Structure 1
Amino acid sequence: MNARPFHRLAIVAVTALWAGSALAQDTAILSASPRFHPVVAQNGMVSSQEALATLVGVDVLRSGGNAVDAAVAVGFALAVTLPRAGNIGGGGFMIVHDAKTDETIAIDYREMAPAAATEDMFLNEAGDADPLKSRFSGLGVGVPGTVRGLALAHERYGSGALSWADLIAPAVTLARDGFPVSDDLASSLASTWTRAHLGRDGEANRIFYEPTDGPPAAGAIMTRPDLAATLERIAEGGPSAFYEGPVAEAIVAKVNGAGGRMSLEDLAGYEPKVREPVTGTYQGYEIASMPPPSSGGIHLIQILNILEGLPIAESGLNSAKTIHLMAQAMNYAYADRSKYLGDPDFTSVPADWLTSPDYAADIRNGLDQEQATPASEIKPGEAPAGHESPETTHFSVVDGDGNAVSNTYTLNFSYGVGLVADGTGILLNNELDDFSAKKGVPNAYGLIGGEANAVEPLKRPLSSMTPTIVFRDGEVFLVTGSPGGSRIITTVLQIILNTVTHGLDIASATAAPRIHDQWLPDEIRIEQGISPDTIRLLEEMGHEVAVKDAMGSTQSIQVGEDGTLYGAADPRRAGSLAAGY
């Protein structure tokens, strides 16, 4: 496939947005007078956090590719245009639904600890966790999984109409010829934190600040020639061009030069894994989400199981009663997460028990529906004997044949560890901070971990990423996911509740204010938009309520009963775009 010029992509975007305004009258999805309107299309839809990447995906669909082909192209494009989260130097998770075979699978391309990793490598001489080691040094860099993960998806589930090189070509063009810096990217690179973070590394500083003698202005053309050359290598040589040879050598040199322990053998030996999704039901809908080493799917289904027997439809969207019940259910799930979740190749995760309706009923029966239960009184459940950054990014794709992809991937922190492998343009992750550096010590997102998520050689750290597909009567109904660190699970939860329980169209479901409770710290975090009267009622119930920044950046596609596609890019992140044709 020849990469199409930007004016062609712009025409696609305008056409899609016009169609959204003209066709948004399908009463199967939309209420009579919705406040927010999704983008509407008939043949294919992509929703991502960066507009150019979305348009690359739509162009692939128009050119005969399927949802997986488009997802691969979007994944590589985001590595160019959304450098703080899009990546080839990180990893993630993908849920794929193949309409022809009616198969839904999970692809785990999570980063992996190097063979030389040790349980105490993030501790200081006093035996205390040292966050500088896990977050800002080479020790925090996991073996990247993105390139082999996307390659596996293309090989097994792509249409066959477009080659691997075809799908990387748009990213090469963007990196080589340049792209206009968005307001969002300009703001990100100009922030004090990012300048200090990237400024520690001469290579990162050279790439992002030296060409413009400081942060680039919005609208300036940014080129990534080193990254373009790397992408061309991968396009021509396949994933081996990343995991072996000069690119791999550059990655290892950078990681170890910053105090890490990675080897060429670690890179050459990395393999993604195909896993069975975690599945469950909610109000007659079927849920398929990510299994361990993500905690997302298990606890999404666990919380839905608890809530299904509670009167949240009657109490209404974001009422004090509904928020109270949601927060109580969230607390029990996050308490269980702290004890049981980890890499299933290294620890036994009692997934069937955690997602069972019977266990949910036990929690629900002991749940106080009127008053907040202090976090100190909530403990992880007792499993039966014999028995796991906010700067992540998500994209969703549905094609005209009913194939669907829900993909969440990340560098962990914004711009990862802040290091670029010299001469490659590849930003490296700091994903190993998601391990439990020490039992009971919270990570950067306040999440508590235990032995199940301790550091071990070749182990994958626990994640909260929750790419999810919801089915109605066996057909795709909703494809969604989000960034947000520890808040990913609850963000995805609320998209499902808002559409299924509260009957909102996907645009309104996306825009609704969100809440989050993760057991510790003992507070309900809420976005602006929740009524002060509601906050007062929650406080009278015994909750500590904290109004904080917006949560998540969901990229969602809803499918009407007649097959019409409705897309919604989260307005919380500038530059997001849902588009289709």
Structure 2
Amino acid sequence: MSMLRIFVALVVAFGVLTSVTRADTKDPIIVYDTQFHPTIARNGMVVSQETYASKAGREILEQGGNAVDAAVATGFALAVTHPQAGNLGGGGFMMIYLKEEDRAIALDYREMAPAAAHRDMFLDENGDVDKKRVRFTLKASGVPGTVMGLTEALAKYGTLPLDVVMAPAIRLADEGFPMTWALYESLGRYAGRLQADPESAKNYYKADGSLYEAGELFRQPDLAATLKAIAANGAAGFYEGPVADKLIAAMQAQGGIMTHEDLRKYHAVEREPLVGTYRGFKVVTMPPPSSGGVHVVQMLNVLEGWDLKALGHNSAAYIHRLTETMKYAYADRSKYLGDPDYFDVPVGALTDKAYAASIRGKIKLDQATPSTAIAPAQSLPEESNDTTHFSVMDKAGNMVANTYTLNFTYGNGRSVPGAGFLLNNEMDDFSAKPGVPNAFGLLGGEANSIEPGKRPLSSMTPTFLFKDGEPLMATGSPGGSTIITVVLQAILNVMEFDMNVQTAISVPRIHHQWYPDRLYLEPGHSIDTRRILGQMGHQVKTEATEAWDSVLGSAQSLMRTTSGMILGAADPRRPGSYAAGF
């Protein structure tokens, strides 16, 4: 385990490291103690996984922009300052809430499979999944959606011109920014993969292959040129013209299958948000092709039948109920979730409270059920699927919760020559072969098989909470397969245990995803709790794995008080996370 992972694990286990904005100076104060210090603002707040990106969003709020303007500014800035997951070459989901209209919008800008994609494209001559081809080649790249998603959100729901909103990101790429410690550490950790690609090596390392030290000026002129093209021409500056030519030239030179026609046909989709209820709260979240929203609502429906508060937060009895509920949800995910444009996802049935009651009735309260004894539901009730997240609120009560990704950290590690951005490896999020787990250990079936134009299933779960009809919380997280359970616990901590936003996202988390049959506990859970869970039959694990780090997610979250104050909480699990308000 790296020193970074050890440090973050200790933060979660023994205290909280938060970045607090002092109202009179806006200078960050780094606080090392065991107290929680959410940032407080009245006019607007942005919380993201990277300091400069949060400040970019705040800059737009200070210019009179609304939450959508600030979110788009933050999204483009993260492509510059957090290339691990911030991107132009990936895709994601944006939840938007417009207070004046009391309306929520679910914007799906997930990547799409190229027209030449086919069901068995990642199988070798023996019919087995070729993991290298599905993860580290240009065939692994879906058609990017981020630029279309961000520009469309701004055009429909923003208030400022695109060039104004993109100005902070262009400045950060063109003039540069001091290399952050978090990016320095990450580039060191992934140097082997990134430096194997000449263009990525050029973009992120010095000419001799060495790292930019923390504090050294880091400029990205090729990326700046691409951003300027988008600022001048909108989405056409990316999907057409010189940038598109460079992307397709890379595809043709390196065995990819994406074409100019694929880029021209890309489109974002507005979908009807998924709405659930829990003890008087309203949960508004992302519908398929996100699996996260469906299963958050499904699990809340199951958990609502128990008095969780009486059990005590993170007690063995509480964790047992969470774990068993998670198993059933992830089992259903493997069969029933996919792109709703290609597969009839039974959303209503999966989120039906009667179905939840049937699951609750199967759960033994004193004993773990092995994953081998749990299968996707045979039938459902009749109806009557490394990332980064940021949240934004403005003084009017508008909210944005945005999660987007390249899939792996730095995607497939390959950059478009002369364009300065990395490509995704999202084709691995399809079921390359039904029943074979992806890189995060998730199983899938025919609902998520590869088809031309289809969007792969995702765990990304941007989510809003409402209480008494008023906006309360915006949240979401990175973390691959763990995203769904991270978001579930963040909102449960608020709804069930009355935690403030910083406490809600800082306390230790758990995760189970049906297969593998492993209950993962973050540092901070007591040895007695672990022992009791083991005695109940849970396969308790605490060490880091290939699929997730020693901590679970990074839930950058905001909460609005009844007096209109905005509380921002930067998750202490990821260095550099920052809440910027004014």
TM-score range, shorter chain: over 0.9
The aligned residue for residue 305 of structure 1 is 301
Question: Residues of 2 paired with 1:35 and 1:13: CA distance?
Answer: 15
Identity across the alignment (%): 53
Match runs of 1:89-108 below 5 Å: 89-108=89-108
Please list, as runs of the form range in 1=range in 2, the aligned pairs for 1:457-468 lying within 5 A after superposition.
Answer: 457-468=452-463
CA distance in 1, matches of 2:310, 2:458: 33
- Residue 517 of structure 2 aligns with an amino acid whose one-letter code is D
2-side partners of 1:522 and 1:120: how far apart? 28
Amino acid at match of 1:530: H
Aligned to 1:503: 498
CA shift at 1:15, angstroms?
3.5
Give the CA deviation at 1:200: 1.6
User: How far does the alpha carbon of each residue in 1:37-94 deviate from its partner, in whole angstroms, 9 at most, with x for none?
Assistant: 2111111111000001101111111110000000000000000000110001100000
SS of equivalent residue, structure 2 residue 289: coil
SS of the equivalent of 2:23 reads helix
Query: Partner of 2:199: helix, strand, or coil?
Result: helix
Counterpart residue identity of residue 571, structure 2 = D
The aligned amino acid for 1:481 is G
Secondary structure of 1:490's aligned partner: helix
- 1:292 counterpart = 2:288: yes
Does the CA contact (< 8 Å) of 2:22 and 2:28 recur in 1? no
Letter matched to residue 458 of structure 1: G
CA distance in 1, matches of 2:399, 2:361: 37
Counterpart of 2:520 (choices 514, 525, 529) is: 525
| Whole-angstrom distance in 2 between the partners of 1:431 and 1:169 | 29
Amino acid of the residue matched to residue 226 of structure 1? D
1:399 equivalenced with 2:373 (yes/no): no
Query: How far off its partner does 1:426 sit?
Result: 1.2
- 1, 15, 23: which one pairs with 2:23? 15
Distance 1:473 1:385 in 2: 30
Partner residue, 1:3: none
Is 1:17–1:579's contact at 8 Å kept on the other side of the alignment?
no
Q: Which residue type is aligned with residue 555 of structure 1?
A: Q
How big is the shift at 1:311? 2.3
Instruction: Report deviation, 1:187.
Output: 0.2
Flag structure 1 segments of 5+ consecutive residues without an equivalent.
1-11, 22-32
Aligned mates of 1:374, 1:444 — CA distance in 2: 22
Q: Structure 1 residue 439: deviation in Å?
A: 0.7
What is the CA–CA distance in structure 2 between the aligned matches of 1:343 and 1:386, rounded to whole Å?
20
* 8 Å CA contact 1:138, 1:257 repeated in 2: no
Distance 1:86 1:69 in 2: 17
> What amino acid is aligned across from residue 172 of structure 1 in structure 2?
I
What is the alpha-carbon distance in structure 1 between the residues aligned to residue 237 and residue 96 of structure 2? 25
Residues of 1 paired with 2:249 and 2:497: CA distance? 52
What is the one-letter code of the residue matched to 2:350? L
Do 1:19 and 1:40's aligned partners in 2 also have CA atoms closer than 8 Å?
no
Residue 245 of structure 1, CA deviation? 1.3
Q: How does 1:310-321 map to 2 (within 5 A)?
A: 310-321=306-317
User: Could you say which residue in structure 2 is the equivalent of 1:247?
Assistant: 243
Deviation at 1:567, TM superposition (A): 0.6
Give the CA deviation at 1:499. 1.1
Q: CA-to-partner distance for each residue in 1:155-212, whole Å, 9 max, x for gaps?
A: 11112xx201111111110000000111100000111xx1111112111111111346
Question: What displacement does 1:314 show?
Answer: 0.7
Q: Say which of 184, 190, 209 aligns to 2:205.
A: 209
1:182 aligned to 2:177? no
Q: Which residue of 1 aligns with 2:143?
A: 143
Letter of the aligned partner of 2:495 in structure 1? V
Q: 2:318 corresponds to which residue?
A: 322
Q: How far apart, in 2, do the equivalents of 1:426 and 1:190 lie?
A: 18
Q: Is the 8 A contact 1:138 1:256 kept in 2?
A: no
Q: Secondary structure at the match of 1:151?
A: helix
Tell me by how many angstroms 1:253 deviates: 1.9
For residues 187-246 of structure 1, what are the alpha-carbon distances to aligned partners after superposition, in whole Å with 9 as ceiling and x for unaligned? Answer: 00111xx11111121111111113464111111110000000110011001110100111
CA distance in 2, matches of 1:349, 1:287: 20
Rounded Cα–Cα distance in structure 1 between residues aligned with 2:393 and 2:479: 23
* Comparing 257-266 and 378-387, the one that deviates more: 378-387
1:256 paired to 2:252: yes
Shift of 1:251: 1.1
SS at match of 1:297: helix
In the aligned structure 2, how far is the partner of 1:307 from the partner of 1:212?
Answer: 55
1:259 shift after superposition: 2.1
Deviates more, 1:359-368 or 1:254-263: 254-263
Task: Give the whole-Å Cα distance in 1 for the aligned partners of 2:461 and 2:24.
Answer: 27
In the alignment, is the contact (CA less than 8 A) between 1:17 and 1:39 conserved in 2? no
Read off the aligned partner of 2:394 and give its amino acid letter. Answer: D
Contact kept, 8 Å, 1:189 with 1:216, in 2: the verdict is: no
SS in 2 for 1:421: coil
Amino acid at match of 1:296: G
Partner of 1:417: 412
Kept after mapping to 1: 8 A contact 2:95/2:402: yes
In 1: Cα distance, 2:196 partner to 2:34 partner? 48
Cα-to-partner distance string for 1:115-174 (whole Å, 9 max, x where unaligned): 000101110110001111110011110000001101111111112xx2011111111100
Superposed CA offset, 1:259-279 (max 9, x none): 221100000110000000111
TM-score (norm 1): 0.93
Measure the CA separation in 2 of the matches of 1:100 and 1:386. Answer: 35
> By how many angstroms is 1:537 displaced?
0.3
**Structure 2 CA distance, aligned partners of 1:277 and 1:509?**
24
Matches within 5 A, 1:37-186: 37-159=37-159, 162-186=160-184
2: CA distance, partners of 1:489 / 1:212 = 41
Distance in 1 between residues matched to 2:303 and 2:428, nearest whole Å: 31
Task: State the 1:35 CA deviation.
Answer: 2.6
Shift of 1:365: 1.3
Classify the secondary structure of the residue corresponding to 1:210. coil
C-alpha root-mean-square deviation of aligned residues, in Å? 1.7
Instruction: Find out whether 1:219 has 2:215 as its counterpart.
Output: yes
Report how far residue 250 of structure 1 moved. 1.1
Q: Deviations over 1:93-114 (max 9, x none)?
A: 0000001111101000000000
Q: Is the 8 A contact 2:21 2:39 kept in 1?
A: no
* CA-CA distance at 1:545 after TM superposition: 0.3
User: Distance in 1 between the 2:542 and 2:24 partners?
Assistant: 36
Partner of 1:15, secondary structure, is: coil
Q: For residues 212 and 576 of structure 1, what CA distance do their matches in structure 2 show?
A: 30
TM-superposed deviation, 1:252: 1.5
Distance 1:240-1:119 versus aligned 2 partners, 3 A rule: same
Shift of 1:16: 7.2
SS, match of residue 79 in structure 1:
helix
Q: TM-score, normalised by structure 2?
A: 0.93
